[in-house]
Amino acid sequence: MDWNVNWLAWGGIAYLLVIINIIRGCRGKTRGWPALTVASMSCAIFAVIAELRMVGRWISHGDMIAVSDTVPGMIRIITIAAVIGILLNIFAALINSAEAESLTQN
């Protein structure tokens, strides 16, 4: 089976960037938060593309057993990871925009 695990790295980087964004927002450092949000979501997209490439390789090799065994579980995991990532990015945006707004009012 042709395993491609770089989706783990892309997904990990996506979560790391959003966590950095949240931490920076909580500390009042709001400069550059939109770029971190875009980078986080871009890495998440790369993770999904890497998983699709892995499934594509299985299909091109004719390994339909691997596809039928793993894709249903992958769909569930990708959906959960996407919802968590979106919620974290929304939280980061709320923190950073509220902090930036309070700084401009003072």
pLDDT of residue 2: 55
With respect to residue 1, please indicate whether it lies within any of the assigned structural domains: no
With respect to residue 36, please indicate whether it lies within any of the assigned structural domains: yes
Quick one: which H or E segment has residue 1?
none
What confidence tens digit (pLDDT) does each residue in 71-86 have?
999 999 999 999 999 9
> What are the C-alpha distances in Å from 106 to residues 8, 12, 42, 99?
42, 37, 34, 11
More confident residue, 103 or 94: 94
Q: Is 90 exceeded by the pLDDT of residue 20? A: yes
User: Residue 5: pLDDT band by 50, 70, 90 thresholds?
Assistant: confident
pLDDT of residue 4: 74
With respect to residue 62, please indicate whether it lies within any of the assigned structural domains: yes
With respect to residue 101, please indicate whether it lies within any of the assigned structural domains: yes
Its pTM stands at 0.83
DSSP secondary-structure letter at 31? T
Range of the domain at 52: 6-105
With respect to residue 38, please indicate whether it lies within any of the assigned structural domains: yes
Q: Per the structure block, which two tokens stand in for 100? A: 């930036």
With respect to residue 33, please indicate whether it lies within any of the assigned structural domains: yes
Domains contained in the chain, number: 1
Contacts for 13 with CB less than 8 Å, ≥ 6 apart:
43
